[in-house]
A and B are shown apart, each in its own frame.
Chain A
Amino acid sequence: MAFTNLMLVFIFNLLYLSLSSGIEIPEEFQKSNHTNNWAVLVDTSRFWFNYRHVANVLSIYRSVKRLGIPDSQIILMISDDMACNPRNPRPATIFNSAHEQINVYGDDVEVDYRGYEVSVENFIRLLTGRVPPDTPRSKQLLTDEGSNILIYLTGHGGDGFLKFQDSEEVTSQELADALEQMWQKKRYNEIFFIIDTCQASSMYEKFYSPNILATASSLVGEDSLSHHVDSAIGVYIIDRYTYYVLEFLENVHPNSQRTMSEFLAVCPKSACLSTVGVRKDLFHRDPSKVPITDFFGSVRPVILTTDPINIVETPKRKKKTENKTKIQVKRDYVPQFPMHLVQVT
């Protein structure tokens, strides 16, 4: 009796072990097939008292640059000039903390759209790619089907809209349509959309294109609050959500193993005082398995060359023979005074 019991237990254990070894260990990170990273960082509000929005967007700019995305792949849109504002007691600087440790403006900031160029029309044109033909390359979003884009918007917003320049608005429907057109034209692989305004989550409610992960600093009906005042400068210097995001990003380096789900949980209600909203249903990967460098860093795939061409004979390109006869150009001075026009009486 005892022997059969023992046998049963033994067989049961064997079965259990064999079954559990059949469960595969999930992969550390789910692979994305993106080939490059872009960032679109937009600050939409004017006037001196909205200093914190410019500080927000420049802080994100510095983090993204530090993690490796080159300037040629960052589109920075800032609506008003705070660094050289006559009310700035620290000219040519923008700080994001009352301790004034880091000047986020710096020597090498590259603002692509500045002042009144930041408008709803330019923003939608940038996203959809319908820019006027003479637009320089640094002002175009030259993404392709393998690009992961980080979109960060900050400013004043409301239920279903984001205010630009204190005079116009972009509605959530327009933004959703613009992203859908980007999807149709295969202009992105995945988008990470961050918005730090009041009632921010209303902006991503209307999205309907795939592969978008969105997060907002507050839900509909809530206001996003600013963090602290710098009494030397006299304005609020940074917003709460962005402050905690920056704290998180400070510990992220180019080889970081942090995941997106950690980023999405960066600001609990006790810290942010508004509830952070997340929209995951359009994103097909599990955020807890997506590395943060998929959006914040620039990890370009690198393929080592294993078969260089062994060139045996030196090629010589056939030069097109041009029949250029050198004509000696005679040069002399133009007469100093056009005497032929002066009537000599």
Chain B
Amino acid sequence: MGSENNISNADESNRMWASASFVGVLIIIGMPLWWKTTEVYRVSLPYEKISSFKPLSHFVTTELKVLANDDATASKIVSEIQKAFAESDIIKIKIEKTVMSERQQHILRSVVDMEKAVEELASTLDLDQENIFHVVQKKSLSHNIWVGNERIMFFDDEKASETIVKALDGWIYQTSVLRGSRSDTPDQARSTRFPPESAYHITLSIVHPRPDTMKVVWNAAEAVEDYIGSFVDELSSLHNFTLKSQWLHLLDFDFQAREVKEVSEWGRHFAVRQDRLSLLLTRLEERAATHVSELSTINLALYIVPCDKAPIIIYDNEGRKNPLSIQAFMSPKWGGVVIASPPAEQCSQQVREFEPSVGQIMGAFVSHLRELLGITKKDAIEGAHLEPSRSVSPRRWEVDALLRIRTLEQVTSAERTLQSLAQLLEEISNIVINDEVGASIAAAVSELEAGAGEGAGADAARAGRAHAHAQRAFTHPGLLALLYFPDDQKYAIYIPLFLPIMFPVVLSLRILLLWFMGKPVHKEKTD
């Protein structure tokens, strides 16, 4: 009997140890292992930092130097400017006032020509420093204020303070455009200019519908290189540009022009309605092959009108004739077109040769490029004179303003992107966040924290980097919810596999516990 007991005891303890090992392997080792191996790989992200971003709180800072003949004028002007910009949440101006030295006052008194005055003054003031603008008094101006190409504004006397404030607001600092670049909904300027990118292609296409009837003399490569190249060199701190040119032959477009008789060398002109012009862009898109490159392309097209359809004059939507000698139009976020008609004497000859005027046409293209890259048109201000631009390069203070606008735009866009990405990743808990996405987000957050969206120049570069990192993180191809199992589907796969096994294991736990505690497992038979 005892040996039977011993055997049954040994048997029982074997059985118990077997059950215990099942429990050990399945529940204690297996379940945590399964949990760990089916865990979605998610790099930890700085969610608190991202949610603490406030895109609408960013502003730009800039410096202003006021120079006047005496202290009273300077103080008056400074106080007027300070009062006007005190409540501005978009720009913070650090104003410095000085009384001009004898030499400077002498220069301004003796030199009448404005450009020369600027040149002479440039030796005493440092006009090349970015983001610093000078407001200088010059007596006996023909207007209240005068603004040219350099970072300097001349004003007559303290009565011009109101005009100065208006000019600073509308021309130099462009607070409305700054506000538009920061806002959620796009304003007119943001709808016109290209979205911020590190590089663009600029393609000049010369469209020649009837090459058999007329020879066009135009050196496209040189025109692009000289004119457009000189323009974009000034913006090299913002974007990289690749300049290309191409000829598109036999690309015809029916303008549906109406012939209008008139007294001129041609005796007629063809009237084209403005609403027909957008279809020309569609036709150009077919052949211009602008999607060959990965980057956005700014299309500039020169359409040479054949002799039998020349000259073309564009009539706007109200039916008014375009009075300029150059017929050109621009489409926001696409590019610009110039329509060049040959002169009548060329068309009457046997061998027709047309040499379009390079300066005039490139002038139109440069004005298109200015708007497409963010340099907006300046509205006229009463009493203020803005010297018209006579060179290809943008004005110095326009480049400063553009830097500010792009910085603000990129910083707010990066913050909004990160916020929506963080919200998305928190919501969908089974998206894998791999190392690349995590690194991009971390890099973007660190750039944004370091920059804090002020100033221009070095911070423009930082804003650009933050924007690029945020874009890369958001559009990473790995962030696709489809690729990963949602939690309910995960359980639906594993439960049918493991539940039948776990059943007896769990049920045997009670018996195991009793055995370990030394209690008799089976009720002894009592007679």
A: residues with CB less than 8 A from B are 33, 35-36, 68-73, 120-121, 124-125, 128-133, 136-138, 144-146, 174, 177, 181, 184-185, 254-255, 298-318
State whether A68 touches B226 (Cβ < 8 A): no
Using known A-B contacts A303-B330, A311-B227, determine if residue A130 contacts B476 with beta carbons closer than 8 Å.
Answer: yes
State whether B230 touches A315 (Cβ < 8 A): yes
The answer for the CA separation of A181 and B424 in the assembled complex, in Å, is 8
State whether A68 touches B278 (Cβ < 8 A): yes
State whether A304 touches B314 (Cβ < 8 A): yes
Query: Is B32's CB within 8 Å of the partner chain A?
Result: no
Min CB distance, A205 to chain B, in Å? 19
Contact residues in B for A254 (Cβ distance below 8 Å)? 279
The answer for the CA separation of A317 and B393 in the assembled complex, in Å, is 11
Query: Is B195's CB within 8 Å of the partner chain A?
Result: yes
Using known A-B contacts A185-B417, A310-B388, determine if residue A301 contacts B331 with beta carbons closer than 8 Å.
Answer: yes
B: residues with CB less than 8 A from A are 186, 191-192, 195, 225-227, 229-230, 233, 274-275, 277-279, 281-282, 285-286, 290-294, 314, 316, 322, 324, 326, 328-334, 336, 358-360, 362-364, 366-368, 370, 377, 388-393, 417, 420, 423-424, 428, 474-483
What residue in chain A is nearest B362 (Cβ atoms)?
A: A311
Partner of A70, one of B282, B336, B368, B377: B282
State whether A33 touches B420 (Cβ < 8 A): no
Using known A-B contacts A124-B482, A303-B330, determine if residue A311 contacts B277 with beta carbons closer than 8 Å.
Answer: no
What residue in chain A is nearest B368 (Cβ atoms)?
A: A305
State whether B186 touches A145 (Cβ < 8 A): yes
State whether B331 touches A302 (Cβ < 8 A): yes
Contact residues in B for A184 (Cβ distance below 8 Å)? 420, 423-424
Min CB distance, B377 to chain A, in Å? 7
The answer for the CA separation of A70 and B294 in the assembled complex, in Å, is 18
Contact residues in B for A129 (Cβ distance below 8 Å)? 475
State whether B330 touches A305 (Cβ < 8 A): yes
State whether B329 touches A304 (Cβ < 8 A): yes
The answer for the CA separation of A306 and B186 in the assembled complex, in Å, is 24
Contact residues in B for A137 (Cβ distance below 8 Å)? 291-294
Considering the complex of A and B, which 9 residue pairs feature the smallest CB-CB distances, nearest first?
Answer: A184-B420, A317-B229, A137-B291, A305-B328, A308-B364, A315-B230, A70-B285, A309-B363, A300-B278
What residue in chain A is nearest B371 (Cβ atoms)?
A: A303
Using known A-B contacts A133-B477, A315-B230, determine if residue A300 contacts B195 with beta carbons closer than 8 Å.
Answer: no
Min CB distance, A313 to chain B, in Å? 7
Using known A-B contacts A305-B328, A305-B336, determine if residue A311 contacts B191 with beta carbons closer than 8 Å.
Answer: no
Partner of B367, one of A36, A300, A302, A308: A308
State whether B227 touches A315 (Cβ < 8 A): yes
What residue in chain B is nearest A70 (Cβ atoms)?
A: B285
Using known A-B contacts A146-B191, A312-B390, A317-B226, determine if residue A307 contacts B377 with beta carbons closer than 8 Å.
Answer: yes
Partner of A146, one of B294, B333, B367: B333
State whether B316 touches A185 (Cβ < 8 A): no
Contact residues in A for B332 (Cβ distance below 8 Å)? 35, 146, 300-301, 303
Contact residues in A for B366 (Cβ distance below 8 Å)? 308-309, 311
Contact residues in A for B186 (Cβ distance below 8 Å)? 33, 145-146
Contact residues in B for A318 (Cβ distance below 8 Å)? 233
State whether B391 touches A313 (Cβ < 8 A): yes
State whether B479 touches A130 (Cβ < 8 A): yes
The answer for the CA separation of A199 and B214 in the assembled complex, in Å, is 60
State whether B363 touches A311 (Cβ < 8 A): yes
Given contacts A124-B482, A305-B367, 9 further A-B contacts (CB under 8 A): A68-B278, A72-B285, A121-B480, A307-B367, A309-B392, A310-B363, A311-B390, A313-B391, A314-B358
Partner of A311, one of B324, B392, B417, B475: B392
The answer for the CA separation of A133 and B275 in the assembled complex, in Å, is 38
State whether B277 touches A302 (Cβ < 8 A): yes
Most buried by A among B274, B293, B367: B367
What residue in chain B is nearest A108 (Cβ atoms)?
A: B286
Using known A-B contacts A174-B481, A302-B331, A317-B226, determine if residue A308 contacts B285 with beta carbons closer than 8 Å.
Answer: no
Min CB distance, A291 to chain B, in Å? 12
Min CB distance, B37 to chain A, in Å? 24
The answer for the CA separation of A311 and B226 in the assembled complex, in Å, is 12
State whether B291 touches A131 (Cβ < 8 A): no
Contact residues in B for A313 (Cβ distance below 8 Å)? 391
State whether A130 touches B480 (Cβ < 8 A): yes
State whether A72 touches B290 (Cβ < 8 A): yes
The answer for the CA separation of A69 and B333 in the assembled complex, in Å, is 16
State whether B331 touches A303 (Cβ < 8 A): yes
Using known A-B contacts A72-B291, A309-B366, determine if residue A315 contacts B391 with beta carbons closer than 8 Å.
Answer: yes
State whether A70 touches B286 (Cβ < 8 A): yes
Min CB distance, A198 to chain B, in Å? 23
The answer for the CA separation of A70 and B389 in the assembled complex, in Å, is 36
State whether B282 touches A68 (Cβ < 8 A): yes
Partner of B482, one of A121, A307, A312: A121
The answer for the CA separation of A33 and B190 in the assembled complex, in Å, is 11
Contact residues in B for A120 (Cβ distance below 8 Å)? 482
Contact residues in A for B227 (Cβ distance below 8 Å)? 311, 315
Contact residues in B for A185 (Cβ distance below 8 Å)? 417, 420, 474
Using known A-B contacts A185-B474, A304-B314, determine if residue A315 contacts B392 with beta carbons closer than 8 Å.
Answer: yes
Contact residues in A for B328 (Cβ distance below 8 Å)? 304-305, 308
Contact residues in A for B290 (Cβ distance below 8 Å)? 72
What residue in chain A is nearest B479 (Cβ atoms)?
A: A130
State whether A305 touches B191 (Cβ < 8 A): no
